[in-house]
Amino acid sequence: MALLEVKDLTCSYPNRSRVLDRITLAIQEGPFISILGPNGAGKSTLLKILGGILRPDEGTVEIEGIRIQWNRDVSFLLSYVPQSLHIPMEMRVIDFVLLGRPHALHLSGRVRALDVEKAFYALEQVGCGRLWKENVIELSGGEQQKILIAKALAQETKVLLIDEPVTHLDLRNQIEVLTLLRTLAKEKDRRVIAVMHDVNQAREFTDYAVFLRGGKICAAGASQEVISKETVQTVFGIKVEERMGIFVSN
């Protein structure tokens, strides 16, 4: 059974050419997968289709053998972490993480003990246990990203879809978040699919990489092999050089 199987996926927004053009992909291996490509390549669109958020024009998606259908509850199978969080109201961190537990509330409105424990455990896992009483809006970018992941962990799904997890973070937080994701994939038996920008980080942290360009798949394969000088040059249309295992512009 493939971890991810995508067949003939086509998607277009009104008044725009195709964002995704008949994508077919089957990924067997790699618990940590990155989707790479230039801006507007269709990365986030692909991620949203995988999460059942966007309806494709055509094509099918299967994750862990389960067909993803648009507008259905898929919270048992996958959790989706958006690029950034915007909650313009008072919400405690723990209440936010509890939303990852779909049936946390009794009919009486009280929170179930098991769900409280799991939510606190998820917060501990991302190293933010002490923040549980804080207001989500008052956290720093790195902390927000971590509690987003905590909510996804509390959901206890096998698959984690993450849209640009480190884009707005400083270097220390980037490393912390990516290490956390890798640990989850390697040790906690999760499957992480992340849209990423930095090819160097993708090569260092992820197991499998998919390159998109203009709505089509350019390359896909084990990160160490597929993230090469040639692929990066073709996909991004720039000249790069590899120095000490890191791509730098030429």
Partner 1 sequence: MIEEFYRIERRKEWGAFLLALLCVGGAFLYLSVGVVPVGLRDTIRILLGFREGVDPSHLLAIEGIRLPRLLASLLVGAGLALSGTAYQSLFQNRLADPFVTGVSAGAVLGCTVAILLGFPSSFLGLGGITLFAFLGALGTSVLVFLLLGVLKRASSATILLIGISLNFFLSAVVSLLLFLHRNRIEAIVLWTMGSVASATREKVFFALPMFLLGAVGVFVSSRALDYLVLGEDIAQVHGIRVKRVRFHIIFFASLLTSVCVSLSGVVGFVGLVTPNMARILTGTRHRSLLVYSSLLGSLFFLGSDLLAKTLLSPSEIPVGVVTSLLGVPVFAGLVWRSSRRIY
- Characterise 66 by phi-psi region: left (phi > 0), alpha (psi -120 to 50), beta (else): beta
Could you say whether residue 109 binds partner 1 (CB under 8 A)? yes
Candidates 87, 114, 238, 246: give the one binding partner 1 (CB under 8 A). 87
Phi, psi (deg, nearest 5) at residue 180: -60, -45
Question: Of 117, 225, 241, 242, which lies in the binding site for partner 1, with binding defined by CB under 8 A?
Answer: 117
Binds partner 1 by CB under 8 A, chosen from 2, 25, 85, 218: 85
Q: Which of 53, 66, 218, 240 forms a contact with partner 1 (CB under 8 A)?
A: 53
CB of 137 to partner 1, least distance (A): 5
Residue 74: CB minimum distance to partner 1, A? 6
Question: CA end-to-end span of the chain, whole Å?
Answer: 42
Cβ 163 vs Cβ 47: under 8 Å: yes
Residue with Cβ nearer partner 1 (20 or 78) = 78
> Which ranges of the chain would DSSP assign to H, the alpha helix?
43-50, 93-98, 113-125, 141-154, 171-187, 199-205, 223-226, 229-236
Helix, coil or strand: residue 66? strand
Binding site for partner 1 (CB under 8 A): 48, 51-53, 71-75, 78-80, 82, 85-92, 94-96, 98-99, 102, 105, 109-111, 116-117, 120, 129, 132-133, 137-138
